[in-house]
Amino acid sequence: MTGELGQLALCFALALSLVMAVAGLIGTRTEANAARRVATSSALGFLVFVVLAFAALTYAFVTSDFSVALVAGHSHTLKPLVYKISGVWGNHEGSMLLWVLVLALYAGMVAFLQRGGERLTSGALGVQGLLAAAFILFILFTSNPFLRLDPAPFEGAGLTPLLQDPGLAMHPPMLYAGYVGLSASFSYAAAALLVGEAGWARAARPFMLIAWIALTSGIALGSWWAYYELGWGGFWGWDPVENASLMPWLIATALLHSALATEKSGAFRTWTLLLAIAGFSMSLIGTFLVRSGVLSSVHAFASDPTRGFFIMVLIALAIGGALALFAWRAPTLQGGAAFEPASRETALLLNNVFLVAACACVFAGTLYPLILDALNGTKITVGPPYYAITFAPIFFALLLLVPFGPQLGWKRGDLKAAWHSLYPALGLAAIAAIAVLAIVAPRTIAATGAFAVAAWLIGASIIDVRKRKGARASAFAAALAHAGLGITLMGVAGTTAWRSEAITVAAPGQSFTVGPYTLRFDGVSRVKGPNYIADRAHIVVMNDGKPGAVLQPEHRLYPAEGQDMSDTAIRTTGLRDLYLALGDERDDGRFALRAYVSPLAPLIWIGGLLMALGGMLSLWGRLRAPAREPTAPAVVQAAE
Amino acid sequence: MNAKKKRRLAFAAALVAVGAMLAVLIRFGLGQNIMYFHSPAEVAAGEVGEGVAFRLGGLVEKGSVSHGAGAEVKFRVTDGKGSVPAQFVGVLPALFREEQGVVATGAMDAHGNFIASEVLAKHDEKYMPPEVVAALKKSGRWKEGAE
Q: Which residues from chain A sit within 8 angstroms of residue B123, using beta carbons? A: 160, 162, 298
CA distance A375 to B31: 17
A401 pLDDT band, cuts 50/70/90, is: very high
Q: Are residues B25 and B88 in the same domain?
A: no
| Mutation target vs B (from A289, A295, A379; most B CBs, 10 A cutoff) | A379
Q: Which residues from chain B sit within 8 angstroms of residue A231, using beta carbons? A: 91, 93-94
pLDDT per position as a tens digit, A497-517? 999 988 888 899 999 999 889
Minimal Cα distance from A294: which residue of B? B130
Distance from CA of A606 to the nearest CA of B (A): 29
Average confidence (pLDDT) over A160-186:
87
CATH of the domain at B129: 2.40.50.140
Nearest to A388 by CA among B53, B33, B36, B31: B33
Q: Is the pLDDT of residue B125 over 50?
A: no
Residue A130: alpha-carbon gap to chain centroid: 24
CB spacing of A379 vs B90 below 8 angstroms: no
> What is the maximum span of chain A, computed from C-alpha positions, in angstroms?
84
Q: Which residues from chain B sit within 8 angstroms of residue A586, using beta carbons? A: 67
Q: Centre a 10 Å sphere on the Cβ of residue B11 and count the other Cβ atoms it contains.
A: 12
Q: Is the pLDDT of residue A6 over 70?
A: yes
pLDDT value at residue B5: 77
Among A335, A381, A563, the residue with its CB nearest the CB of B95 is: A563
Distance from CA of B111 to the nearest CA of A (A): 25
A26 touches chain B (CB under 8 A): no
A298 touches chain B (CB under 8 A): yes
Average confidence (pLDDT) over A340-363:
91
CA distance A388 to B69: 35
Q: Which residues from chain B sit within 8 angstroms of residue A383, using beta carbons? A: 33, 35
- Buried b / exposed e along A523-543 (16+ C-beta atoms within 10 A): ebeeeebebbebbbbbbbbee
pLDDT per position as a tens digit, A437-481? 998 878 888 899 999 999 999 999 999 999 888 788 778 999 999
CB spacing of A353 vs B4 below 8 angstroms: no
Residue type at A51? V
CA distance A19 to A295: 36
Of A623 and B121, which is predicted with more confidence?
A623
CB spacing of B25 vs A505 below 8 angstroms: no
In percent, the amount of chain B with pLDDT more than 70 equals 85
**What Cα–Cα distance (Å) separates residue B22 from each residue in A349, A367, A390, A482, B14?**
17, 16, 9, 25, 12
Among B28, B34, B123, the residue with its CB nearest the CB of A298 is: B123
| Bridge partners, residue B85, by sequence | B76
Hey, CA dihedral for A462, A467, A469, A474, is it positive or negative?
negative
Kindly report the backbone phi and psi dihedral angles of residue B84, in degrees, each rounded to the nearest multiple of 5, phi listed first.
-120, 125
Distance from CA of A633 to the nearest CA of B (A): 23
Q: How many CB pairs under 8 A join A and B?
A: 103
Ranges A152-156, A258-262, A523-527: which has the least confidence:
A152-156
CB spacing of B125 vs A338 below 8 angstroms: no
A634 pLDDT band, cuts 50/70/90, is: very low
In percent, the amount of chain A with pLDDT more than 70 equals 95
Minimal Cα distance from A231: which residue of B? B93
Q: Are residues B94 and B84 in the same domain?
A: yes
Q: Is the pLDDT of residue B136 over 90?
A: no
Q: Are residues B24 and B80 in the same domain?
A: no
| Mutation target vs A (from B2, B18, B30; most A CBs, 10 A cutoff) | B30
Q: Which residues from chain B sit within 8 angstroms of residue A596, using beta carbons? A: none
Minimal Cα distance from A301: which residue of B? B127
Q: Are residues B89 and B126 in the same domain?
A: yes
Among B26, B28, B71, the residue with its CB nearest the CB of A505 is: B71
Q: Are residues B16 and B74 in the same domain?
A: no
A414 pLDDT band, cuts 50/70/90, is: confident
What ipTM describes this predicted complex? 0.82
pLDDT value at residue A181: 94
pLDDT value at residue B143: 56
How many residues are present in chain B? Answer: 147
Q: What is the DSSP letter of B104?
A: E
Q: Are residues B73 and B18 in the same domain?
A: no
**Is B110 a domain residue?**
yes
**Is B46 a domain residue?**
yes
pLDDT value at residue A633: 43
Among B29, B91, B127, the residue with its CB nearest the CB of A592 is: B91
- What is the number of domains present in chain B? 2
pLDDT per position as a tens digit, A309-326? 888 888 899 999 999 999
Q: Are residues B15 and B64 in the same domain?
A: no
B145 pLDDT band, cuts 50/70/90, is: very low
Q: Is the pLDDT of residue A183 over 60?
A: yes
Q: Are residues B76 and B15 in the same domain?
A: no
CB spacing of B34 vs A380 below 8 angstroms: yes
**Is B13 a domain residue?**
yes
Q: Are residues B124 and B57 in the same domain?
A: yes
**Is B128 a domain residue?**
yes
B124 pLDDT band, cuts 50/70/90, is: very low
Q: Is the pLDDT of residue A374 over 90?
A: no
Ranges A210-214, B11-15, B126-130, B143-147: which has the least confidence:
B143-147
CA distance A483 to A462: 8
Q: Is the pLDDT of residue A49 over 90?
A: yes
In percent, the amount of chain A with pLDDT more than 90 equals 52
pLDDT value at residue A372: 86
Q: Is the pLDDT of residue A529 over 80?
A: yes
Q: Are residues B92 and B120 in the same domain?
A: yes
pLDDT value at residue A615: 95
CA distance A440 to A527: 41
Residue range of the domain that includes B21: 1-34
Q: Are residues B93 and B116 in the same domain?
A: yes
CB spacing of A389 vs B30 below 8 angstroms: no
**Is B26 a domain residue?**
yes
A58 pLDDT band, cuts 50/70/90, is: very high
CA distance A266 to A272: 10
pTM of the model: 0.91
Residue A495: alpha-carbon gap to chain centroid: 22
Peptide bond into A547 cis (omega under 30): no
Q: Are residues B22 and B59 in the same domain?
A: no
**Is B120 a domain residue?**
yes
**What Cα–Cα distance (Å) separates residue A400 from each residue in A213, A351, A388, A404?**
23, 10, 17, 9
C-beta separation of A335 from A270 below 8 A: yes
**Is B147 a domain residue?**
no
pLDDT value at residue A308: 75
| Element spanning A314, H or E | helix A305-329
pLDDT per position as a tens digit, A231-274? 677 889 888 888 999 999 999 999 999 999 888 888 888 899 99
A293 pLDDT band, cuts 50/70/90, is: low
Q: Is the pLDDT of residue A371 over 60?
A: yes
CB spacing of B124 vs A162 below 8 angstroms: yes
CA distance B83 to A296: 23
